[in-house]
Amino acid sequence: MRLSILRRLAAPLCTAALCTAALGAAVSCGGSSGVADPGPPPPNTVDVFTPGNVFSPFSATVPVGGTVRFNISGAQHNVIFDHTLPGAPADVPVTTNGVVSRTFATKGTYEYDCTVHPGMSGQIVVQ
Ligand SMILES: [Cu+2]
């Protein structure tokens, strides 16, 4: 299980451009992502990663009451939800390496952006 998580993290990181330019020496291909492996997610919890300046997966689905773990690594990222939809959780402040969890109590599709990186966005579908 831990190996499969590392593979998911490592594969998108190992494009030549990202490894040489964006991530530099902090992250090497196949090596540590810079954040501790959070281990397998508990029930009703899904992981979102930041391999380069994207959220992966772009769309994550949890049940009502479910939790999303934002595994932030590689660069500074935040998670700013569209608060026009009631039920959006608190934003995640700019984080460099860390795991921040948010729980979703209301059905809906919650879109979010990293305001550090224009175009870096994702969504959480709560069913
Ligand atoms: Cu970002």
Domain boundaries, the chain: 38-126
7 φ/ψ sector (left φ>0, alpha ψ -120 to 50, else beta): alpha
The alpha carbon of 12 and the centre of ligand 1 are apart by a number of angstroms equal to 15
The alpha carbon of 49 and the centre of ligand 1 are apart by a number of angstroms equal to 11
pLDDT in tens, 49-59: 999 899 999 99
Fold of domain 38-126: Immunoglobulin-like (2.60.40)
The alpha carbon of 35 and the centre of ligand 1 are apart by a number of angstroms equal to 15
The alpha carbon of 92 and the centre of ligand 1 are apart by a number of angstroms equal to 11
* pLDDT attached to residue 20: 36
- C-alpha 69/C-alpha 72 separation (Å) is 9
The alpha carbon of 123 and the centre of ligand 1 are apart by a number of angstroms equal to 14
Return the higher-pLDDT residue of 5 and 38: 38
Q: What are the tokens at 94?
A: 């700019």
| pTM of the predicted model as reported, rounded to 2 decimal places | 0.72
Contact between 76 and 101 under an 8 Å Cβ cutoff? The reply is: no
Note if the bond before 118 is cis, omega within 30 degrees. Answer: no
pLDDT in tens, 6-35: 444 343 433 333 333 333 333 333 344 566
